[in-house]
Amino acid sequence: MDATLSAAREKVQAPAFKLVFAGLILAVLLNALDQTIVATALPTIVGELDGFNQLAWVITAYILASTIGLPIYGKLGDQFGRKPVFVFAILLFLAGSVFSGMATSMPLLIAFRALQGLGGGGLMIGAQGIIADMVPPRDRGKYMGLLGAAFAVASISGPLLGGIITESWGWRWIFYINVPLGAIALFFILKYLKLPKTPKSTGSLDYAGMALLSSASVLLVLITSQGGTHGWTSPLILGQSAALLTLVALFIVVERRASSPVLPGYLFKNRQVLIATIAGILVGVTMFSTISYLPTFFQLVNGATAVGSGLMMIPMTLGNVFGSMGSGAMVSKTGRYKIFLITGPILTLGGLGLLGFMDAHTPYLMAAAGMFMVGIGIGVMMQNLVVIVQAQVSRADLGVATSATNYFRMIGASVGIAVFGSIFVSSFTTKIAGSGIEIAPGGEGGLGSLTPEFVHSLPASSQALIADAMAGSMPQIFIISIFLAVGALILGFMIKETPLATTRG
């Protein structure tokens, strides 16, 4: 091992760094948990606050606000320093958590969840940016892998923890529990985090670009979340689509003229950055679609409870943790990363193949094997793609490059989940048509009334018919995802492996 790399690693292992990294892990855990932990508490929440028709917005508000904040936090970190921006994000997240726990109505809860999401958007981006500031590119894989593993564990275990906390302490503690954990993270960051001085900004903050990008993001998420309900050719969706195209065109014009753009176009002139970002989108769609739809399959086809379906997702969590941590350690040790951009999609392909051929009688062991393979495949790719992007840009652009990668991955996942949902609903509706089963009592609500509780209230023959229709429709999502994994494999071959620096830039 050369002297430079050895000295860098000794500095990274300092006690203060370990405490800072513990704070970063806590922050990432909180952000990831709050994207999913509310799911199993929703029936209790809407029952108490009388807001069933606004149920989805409790989750959507957080994810939407978090996504909007991604590129903004990246740019603010580059211009004003990552430590103050990260501290602000933690404080905003904690404030939103306290207010969400105190909410007395659904509109208030949704508003406070949005506030919480605005803070949450800065936690993952801030953690990745701080790691990039403190750790040489050669060593980043190890720490990014740990962050990725923490994110995976929290994302998939969120519904399980939500059910346990709601049953034990009440749904408000889903939010209050963030306060002591967030306070610990804040203490470690404030006391021990010391970063290199931020280079002096070369331009004014791009307020117009931020406003346009935020507005376009909101419209895109609204279109993808409402398209399946209102119809993709409805006047509402077509009007929103026209507005979205207008905002995107204005954003491009503004960014070309901005002295310090929030999303610099020159980043994507770098072939490595462009390929890694596109691959990240494909991986994100595959991951979030699998996480989003498999629990529904387990509940409506296998008859699992909400908590039980969370437990059934454990193989994917284990695979993701193993893949993230193992590949990160190997990249730090060898400096080689391209092998994981090849093996990752191959493993994902194998897992999706198993999931894509499930039916109502498939043994759980087959599903578990498929989830484990998908988890490993995604784990070895996700954080390494971020490392590749960070290695291609100067320190002045670390924040915007990191946030851009995450932003496009989240936007891509939002669109992908909505499109897959429409395909699933269309297939399921066709299969269930003519069965004589009235999905929604009173003829209202459509598929929105197809809850596990309602299905379990039907006669056994009707339950079996719904399970067969579900089992024949949902695996199509995983079959389509195979094409995304093939795309990621092709892009993996296209990425040119370059040496990772052993010192901070």
Is the CA virtual torsion 457, 459, 465, 467 positive or negative?
A: positive
Distances (CA, A) of 252 to 68, 217, 218, 261, 262: 17, 14, 17, 10, 11
Indicate the pTM of the whole model. 0.78
Question: 10 Å Cβ neighbour count for 271?
Answer: 12
Query: What's the mean pLDDT in 122-150?
Result: 83
* Domains of the chain and any CATH numbers: 13-195 (1.20.1250.20), 209-221+233-257 (no CATH), 259-498 (1.20.1250.20)
pLDDT higher than 50, residue 500: yes
What is the tens place of the pLDDT at every residue in 464-481? Answer: 787 788 778 888 889 989
The SS3 assignment for 47 reads: helix
Output 315 or 302, whichever has higher pLDDT: 315
340: its two tokens? 């994981």
Q: Which residues touch 366 (CB under 8 Å, ≥6 apart)?
A: 354, 358
Predicted confidence band at 6 (pLDDT cuts at 50, 70, 90)? very low
Structural contact between residues 262 and 213, judged by C-beta atoms closer than 8 angstroms: yes
Nearest-10 Cα torsion for 236, 237, 240, 244: -170
Q: What pLDDT is attached to residue 262? A: 83
374: its two tokens? 């998908």
Query: What's the mean pLDDT in 130-159?
Result: 80
297: its two tokens? 């399959």
pLDDT above 70 covers a percentage of the chain that reads 87
Q: What pLDDT is attached to residue 435? A: 61
Output 59 or 118, whichever has higher pLDDT: 118
Predicted confidence band at 501 (pLDDT cuts at 50, 70, 90)? low
State the helix-helix crossing angle for 271-300 and 398-432, rounded to 10 degrees: 40
What is the tens place of the pLDDT at every residue in 399-423? Answer: 888 888 888 888 887 777 777 777 7
Task: Report residue 159 CA to chain centroid gap.
Answer: 15
The amino acid at residue 102 is M
Poorest-pLDDT segment among 24-33, 251-260, 324-333, 406-415: 406-415
pLDDT higher than 50, residue 448: no
pLDDT higher than 80, residue 457: no
Output 195 or 3, whichever has higher pLDDT: 195
pLDDT higher than 50, residue 7: no
What is the tens place of the pLDDT at every residue in 90-108? Answer: 999 999 999 999 999 988 9
Q: Which residues touch 502 (CB under 8 Å, ≥6 apart)?
A: 2, 4, 5, 8, 136, 137, 138, 139
Predicted confidence band at 303 (pLDDT cuts at 50, 70, 90)? confident
What is the tens place of the pLDDT at every residue in 379-405? Answer: 899 888 888 888 888 777 878 888 888
Structural contact between residues 38 and 89, judged by C-beta atoms closer than 8 angstroms: no
Q: Please give the span between the terminal C-alpha atoms of the chain, in angstroms, as a whole number.
A: 19
The secondary structure of 306-361, three-state, reads: HHHHHHHCHHHHHHHHHHHHHHHHHHHHHCCCHHHHHHHHHHHHHHHHHHHCCCCC
